[in-house]
A and B are shown apart, each in its own frame.
Chain A
Amino acid sequence: METLMKLFKNNIRQYGMIIALVVIMIFFQLITGGLLLEPINITNLILQNSYILVLAIGMVLVIITGHIDLSVGSVAAFVGAVAAIMMVDMQLHPVVAVIASLIVGGLIGAWQGFWVAYVRIPAFIVTLAGMLLFRGLTMIVLEGQSISPFPAGFQKISSGFIPDFGDFGVNLIAILAGIIFTLIYIINELRDRRAQQKYQFEVISNSLFVLKLVVMAAVINAFTYMLASYAGLPNILILLLVLILIYSFVMNRTVMGRHIYALGGNEKAAALSGVKTKKVTFWVFVNMGVMAAISGLIFAARLNAATPRAGTNFELDAIAASFIGGASATGGIGTVFGAIIGGLVMGVLNNGMSLIGLGIDWQQGIKGLVLLAAVAFDIYNKKKNSVS
């Protein structure tokens, strides 16, 4: 028990938000009389939050470099509008339209990245301008109207599920995916642990390690079972998982990721160590543009329409998700996984409060307080742990 407490104390930053997420989930599970964790609601949670989570992945990278992007909501709306014009008005094939939309997103990111990285205008200002600019452009290209409906194939991005083989009452693909994912997870953990022991890093005790594996396996499989007993694996979940895995890998294991952290941690030192700071900043913004485009496409597909007011306040949710997930406003600190947890905290709050019939006014207020509390908790912890 004592080691457990010590473990908890040392990793409070890492685990704090996961614990907060679990507590929030239990709270709403009780207060809604079990509605929150109904299979249909779990599936809804994923569908409802996917576009914010995609934005959060891009946003946390921007925040790690020490910048911010206020324009992502407008960019998402603009790309959604462009996609609608291509698919609905011009009757282009969805695949072509999606690729073109992603390129548009990348170009928008390049535009903003240029001003931030090379002209050195603060990102706050560049993206504030972008927020107005792209909202305006959205209204112009849509001529103030909504465009719908999208081709059925395109809608499947947001509302489709991985098709199952046969009919067994539950979705077998989902169950299988859960089991395979669990196995990959366990193998990975074992490999990491062996490596850490080899280099004589401190590792948690055997019994705790097994406990951790068992809990994680249970969570993963409970989750996939829930999905299986409704409609199976949503397409969007697969897309999200792929993005999370790719970006976690890039941030942890590649030169680009290292350079992003180094740049955010100390730009001058990074520059003198051979990090091409301008180039890195530029590409982080290009990436953010692409992620905003993906988010815009998901949202348009879910709504089955491109509307002039799409994506309003998305940027705030994405930024909040990053900070709740432990990113530092001064740069250099943050993880993709943390941003996802942060996004889920916000998502569960939204969903739970809607379930109990709380108005949008109260929801906003409570979300604001949660953001403040999460960051205050983080700063309190940092202070306590730093010995001067």
Chain B
Amino acid sequence: MSEYILEMRNITKEFPGVKALENVNLRVREGEIHSLCGENGAGKSTLMKVLSGVYPHGSYDGEILFKGSVCEFKNIKQSEELGIVIIHQELALIPYLSIAENIYLGNERSRRGIMDWNETITGAKELLAKVGLDENPNTPVGSIGVGKQQLVEIAKALSKKVKLLILDEPTAALNEDDSENLLQLMLEFKKQGISCILISHKLNEVSKVSDSITILRDGKTIETLDMHSGEVSEDRIIRGMVGRDLTNRYPERTPNIGEVTLEIKDWTVYHEQQAERKVLDRINMVVRRGEIVGIAGLMGAGRTELAMSIFGKSYGRGITGTILKDGKEIQNNSVTEAIENGFAYVTEDRKDYGLILIDDIKRNISLTGLRKLTHRTVINEREEVLVAEEMRRKLKIKTPSILQKTGNLSGGNQQKVVLSKWIYSEPDILILDEPTRGIDVGAKYEIYTIINQLADEGKGILVISSELPEILGICDRIYVMSAGRITGEVNRENATQETLMRYMTKTGGNGHGNTDEIVQK
């Protein structure tokens, strides 16, 4: 038996017109955590699909050895039988079924087609204990948080006698606590002899738990780094991923801050379904022209709710409080009104809330600013093309044509289309919710540059981000939220990850949402 549990040799996979993988080699040792790093589109997911049999044997070149023997998977079922289980970024759970039912979905505990509920429940309990999830197995999956759902997915994998667990961006939707929890669990599994392949953009996590890292770029294996050699820094990994040194991850900028343009006063919002639950409690904040203001906070702190409730009351009910723009009180009762008042909101979920994926780039860009392109409700299509072309050039959207469907673009380019759309609507205030989520390092830098340009044009910018280095890297001033309140306000010079973290985990807030007294050390 070889020391490698998995060897993928010279894997080449072609799609019509594109070579997605070219002679990729991946070797995973028995019982190690092996990370797979690379920019978006580098071929990580394709490689995993080849491994799990989503792309059946014969549709690719090269060979796969699992525990020393050649495997020719025709479908996922066959790879799962050997103990290779993938947990995808988008969780594959059914919200209305219970935890136990989800765990054994497709693998039911049954006798001659009749469900054995005893075994289902007791089995589920055992598995939940293994992943450290203290929930009743009869609870519907839809009623527990994303972090816990992730654990249910893992329990489901364990129920299949997993030998090699593949996690695709497992922490993308998790807060710091849940992420930490998950990483600990991976280390625990390692002790039990389960090997892991981790795909993640979060390099701090990667370097924390990995034993080795394989880097892919443009469908080719670049290198495999041994993390125990002691010389692998995050910068080293990034260099491998982008093929160049990225000495500064955040572009330089000298802020030119002007008058207050946006002021939120005593903003209180109640939950959409649970009418008594306060989601936001007396939020006060100001944004000045040319200023990039960050909002930090853990999942569930109410950041997105704040952004969406300001943006045309797209979230919440029972909203009270005032919005002042350039000193004048305004009403944002609908999205249309918010847009007319010069607001723009770039959502955290560009696929579900930001883009019409089946439409082309041009139509997506023009959608919000359509009125500017019309004469008596007839769209000037030539003008529209010119606008889209200009945005493509300005924001460097990489595409053969503006007639390309946005669903076919990479994450970074999709985000640029969303930004183009809002830039074209000529807002004064931009609210950017997780502007670089799921985007590779190179594209992130470009997005930051665009944000800086917008600030330099005198727009007020609010950035919501879960990545503290990002907040610290681009913002001039940072509000910290926790449990629906603002718990701190920090200037760039005074901000460190530790201070932010302290405010993020502070509950109860400072009573009246009054931020004046806070840390201007």
Contact = CB atoms under 8 A, between A and B. Distances in A.
Interface of A: 195, 199, 201-202, 253-256, 258, 261-262, 265-266, 268-276, 332-333, 387-388
Contact of B336 (A199, A265, A274, A388): A274
The secondary structure that dominates the B interface is mixed
B398 interface: no
Contacts of B17: 387
Contacts of B143: none
Interface stretch (B234-242, B293-301, B318-326, B347-355): B347-355
Contact of A255 (B314, B353, B377): B377
Contacts of A261: 356, 359, 363
Contact of A274 (B335, B379, B382): B335
A119 B392 CA distance: 40
B379 A199 contact: no
B377 A265 contact: no
Interface stretch (B26-34, B112-120, B364-372): B364-372
B354 A262 contact: no
Contact of A269 (B16, B353, B366, B377): B353
A387 B15 contact: yes
B450 interface: no
Contact of B356 (A195, A199, A269, A276): A269
A268 B348 CA distance: 13
Contacts of A272: 311, 314, 335, 345, 347, 353-354
14 contacts: A199-B382, A254-B374, A255-B371, A265-B358, A270-B367, A272-B314, A272-B345, A272-B347, A272-B354, A273-B368, A274-B336, A332-B358, A332-B359, A388-B15
Contact of B335 (A195, A273, A332): A273
B136 to A, nearest CB: 32
B245 interface: no
B156 to A, nearest CB: 24
Interface string B245-279: 00000000000000000000000000000000000
A266 B356 contact: yes
B352 to A, nearest CB: 6
Contacts of A262: 356, 359, 363, 367
A276 B334 contact: yes
B48 interface: no
A223 B339 CA distance: 50
A195 B356 CA distance: 26
Q: How big is chain B's contact interface, by range?
A: 35 or more
B352 A258 contact: no
Interface in B404-458: 408, 421
B314 A276 contact: no
A146 B335 CA distance: 51
Nearest to A271: B335
B314 A333 contact: no
B494 interface: no
B69 interface: no
B462 to A, nearest CB: 16
A273 B365 CA distance: 10
Question: Which 8 A/B pairs are nearest by Cβ-Cβ distance?
Answer: A265-B356, A387-B15, A266-B356, A274-B339, A273-B368, A273-B367, A274-B336, A274-B335
B51 to A, nearest CB: 15
A254 B381 CA distance: 10
Contacts of A271: 314, 335
Given A258-B379, A273-B421, A268 B356 contact: no
A6 to B, nearest CB: 13
A387 B410 CA distance: 12
A321 B370 CA distance: 31
A201 B401 contact: yes
A270 B371 CA distance: 15
Nearest to A202: B401
Contacts of A255: 370-371, 374, 377, 379
Contacts of B338: 274
A261 B370 CA distance: 13
B239 to A, nearest CB: 29
A254 B384 CA distance: 12
Contacts of A388: 15
Contacts of A270: 356, 367
A139 to B, nearest CB: 41
B357 interface: yes
B385 interface: yes
B403 A265 contact: no
Given A199-B389, A253-B379, A387-B15, A274 B359 contact: no
B368 A274 contact: yes
Contacts of B389: 199
User: Which of B358, B378, B379 has the most chain A CB atoms inside 10 A of its CB?
Assistant: B358
B354 A269 contact: yes
A276 B382 CA distance: 25
A166 B323 CA distance: 73
A354 to B, nearest CB: 38
Contacts of B421: 273
B314 A258 contact: no
A270 B370 CA distance: 12
A265 B374 CA distance: 21
B1 interface: no
A308 to B, nearest CB: 41
A261 B379 CA distance: 14
A188 to B, nearest CB: 13
A266 B381 contact: no
A338 to B, nearest CB: 15
Contacts of B353: 268-269, 272
A272 B17 CA distance: 35
A255 B15 CA distance: 37
A272 B352 CA distance: 11
Contact of A199 (B368, B377, B385): B385
A272 B364 CA distance: 12
A195 B347 contact: no
B356 A332 contact: yes
A268 B356 CA distance: 9
Contacts of A202: 401
A379 B366 CA distance: 29
Contact of A265 (B334, B359, B408): B359
A91 to B, nearest CB: 40
A296 B336 CA distance: 37
Given A199-B389, A272-B345, A266 B352 contact: yes
B131 to A, nearest CB: 30
